[in-house]
Structure 1
Amino acid sequence: MTVLTSGLHHVTAIAGAPQRNIDFYVTGLGLRLVKRTVNFDDPGTYHLYYGDDSGRPGSLLTFFPWAGVRTGVHGVGQSTSTAFSVPAGSLGWWQKHFADLGVDSAITSTSSSEERLSLRDPDGLGLDLVASSTVDPRDPWDSASVPAEYAVRGQHSSVLTVADPTGTLQVLTRDLGMHVISEEGNRTRVGAGDGDPGALVDVIADPTGQAGLTAGGTVHHVAFRVPDRATQAEWRQELVERGYGVTEILDRDYFTSIYFREPGGVLFEIATDTPGFDIDEPLLELGRSLKLPPWLEPSREAIEHSVVPITVPAENNPALVAGV
């Protein structure tokens, strides 16, 4: 391929009650709600975006929350865990923080290069906090709930669980331009660029595992970065020529997207870094109000009556609260 990804753009998952989701990710994980919009394909439900102060690519975890959604099954053909990067030495603080919130967590791996704290969100989504010996230079969101010295720096990696990793690894390396970093047992790690946090994917081979069911508490798709729409169009053409069933370029307002399913069953997206989340509201006000794309604005009143009322914690927009 002539185009290479620079890493992860975002992960999108399915949740239940939207208020519970907001409370956990803003006050529990210390992320910022950077956009409150709707699912463009189903405007009766929200699409919630969490990330750093401005929602930079590589910091984002997004949700389609449906109250009362059935519980999904984690298994083969899915992204089974989403990992965030935190500073070295911070996992003890995080474990106590989650315990105070009534959330179970456990140290699942320790090595000289990487420690991992595993937990599940209120809907059962698998999350990891990874404290790596590689210093992550990205600035954290300055949350009232999580001091900056411990705070999430952005995504670390995504775990893909597949029956046969051959095709999945081929897509990641040949078609997305990533490279193999390590192989240990049934886990292969690939990375983009220098393989820093935010540019990593772990592929786990599980040939006898149960097939996953995408519903509440599971990942819907994993998105990879491309700088702009022109490069995306070039990449799409190359993927089509290689035989992938790739969607047309879709306008998501804050980026454009193409989608295709890799051989292991995981839905991949390639999303642009531009234009970003401040095109329709100032940085200070991100996530404060419901934003709709121009083609849905005529239906605003109906949409506002169809979605569940929610409250965004004051810490999401501290400068505005301080100025009141």
Structure 2
Amino acid sequence: MNIKGIHHVSALTANAHENFRFYTEVIGMRLVKKTVNQDDTSVYHLFYGDEKGNPGTELTFFEIPMAAKNHGGVSSISTIGLRVASDEALTYWEKRLDDYGVKRSQIVERAGKKYLDFEDFEGQRLTFVSDEKNSGVSPGRPWNKAPVPQEKGATGLGPVKLTVRKPDSTITVLTEILGFRKTDRSYASSVDDQSDILVYETGEGGNGAEVHIEERSDLPPERMGRGGVHHVAFRVENEEELQQWVQKIQQLQIPNSGFVDRFYFRSLYFREPNGILFELATDGPGFDTDESLDSLGESLALPPFFESKREEIEEKLKPLDTKRS
């Protein structure tokens, strides 16, 4: 039972069309699956990733058209990391983000690695992190048909930052239950009188397997909306191992979802003590289960258990053209 790293991060958008435009045309990720929220099939669930949508590269969005703006606070996943190959790639992204009018910071160094913070059109908080001094979990491979040079593109998910009021309880879940370990790296908070931000890792370690813990005593709980993050998922090898995790979480009497079949992967959901939703997800079967690699994301994909309701589902969805020329 080994958590391998970050599997995916799922966030909220109020506009699937603009979300698709931003993450494919500006950020250059590949839409690898256009499907629906399996808990509410009236809205889209969009998956972006590397050329194949490999686990560890997937940034996903639920479309909630009437969602209010996110109000940041504690009990939140407050930053999503995206890996790039080098420090030089960060310099490329400074110019590209400026060309598209994207709000960004300057390149900064944190715990020995360089970062470039930016926000999407709804205020989603993201950061590019350079793999130049990185080792550990292997990166993905950017899609060669993206509008971003392949050597500069996002290669997968980097560290996620959790902002909490009581870090010890979150750390206990990460280390004593999920098997994360504390590194000897930390970095200063941007807020005076706040504790340093701590770095934990799992599996082979590195940018694709890190969780950063920020303690904030000065913030109210986050009010989630568009531009907020719904949950973070961590990688497990296969369904057999996931079933062992289900047994372990239930034996610890942690409220949980039990085993969930998402078709493209299998899942288990539970909340850690500060209220952040964690998911454990299997590496497979993968997104090419029902589509060819060449046509990923171009049409509405539905798991077999929803296929009989396709006509009803499509009638409720606003058309979203994701065909590629």
- SS at 2:321 equivalent: coil
Change (3 A) 1:245 1:101: same
Change (3 A) 1:111 1:223: closer
In the TM superposition, 1:203-282 aligns within 5 A as: 203-282=213-292
More deviation in 103-112 or 230-239?
103-112
Aligned residue in 1 for 2:192 = none
Confirm or deny: 8 A CA contact 1:59 1:154 kept in the other structure. yes
Q: Report the AA paired with residue 164 of structure 2.
A: V
Aligned residue in 2 for 1:40 = 38
Aligned residue in 2 for 1:24 = 22
CA deviations on 1:240-269 (whole Å, 9 max, x unpaired) are 112211112111110011100001111000
Shift of 1:166: 0.3
Aligned residue in 2 for 1:162 = 164
Q: Report the AA paired with residue 75 of structure 1.
A: G
Confirm or deny: 8 A CA contact 1:82 1:127 kept in the other structure. yes
State how far apart, in whole Å, the 2-side matches of 1:51 and 1:206 are: 31
CA deviations on 1:57-103 (whole Å, 9 max, x unpaired) are 10001010122321121110010010011122211210111111111
Unaligned runs of 5+ in 2: 188-194
CA deviations on 1:3-61 (whole Å, 9 max, x unpaired) are 22000000000101100000001111111100000001100000100001111110001
Shift of 1:141: 2.0
- Residue identity (%): 37
CA RMSD in angstroms comes to 1.5
Instruction: Determine which of 3, 6, 23 is the counterpart of 1:5.
Output: 3
How many residues end up aligned between the 2 structures?
313
CA deviations on 1:164-214 (whole Å, 9 max, x unpaired) are 100111111111111101344431110012322210110101122121012
Confirm or deny: 8 A CA contact 1:13 1:62 kept in the other structure. yes
More deviation in 142-151 or 263-272?
142-151
Confirm or deny: 8 A CA contact 1:113 1:134 kept in the other structure. no
Aligned residue in 1 for 2:143 = 141
- SS at 2:207 equivalent: coil
State how far apart, in whole Å, the 1-side matches of 2:126 and 2:145 are: 19
Shift of 1:110: 2.2
Instruction: Determine which of 50, 62, 67 is the counterpart of 2:65.
Output: 67
Q: Report the AA paired with residue 134 of structure 1.
A: N
Confirm or deny: 8 A CA contact 1:31 1:143 kept in the other structure. no
Confirm or deny: 8 A CA contact 1:171 1:262 kept in the other structure. yes
In the TM superposition, 1:177-188 aligns within 5 A as: 177-181=179-183, 182-184=185-187, 185-188=195-198
Instruction: Determine which of 283, 293, 296 is the counterpart of 2:303.
Output: 293
Aligned residue in 2 for 1:317 = none
Shift of 1:313: 5.9
- Scaled by the length of structure 1, what TM-score is found? 0.93
- SS at 1:22 equivalent: helix
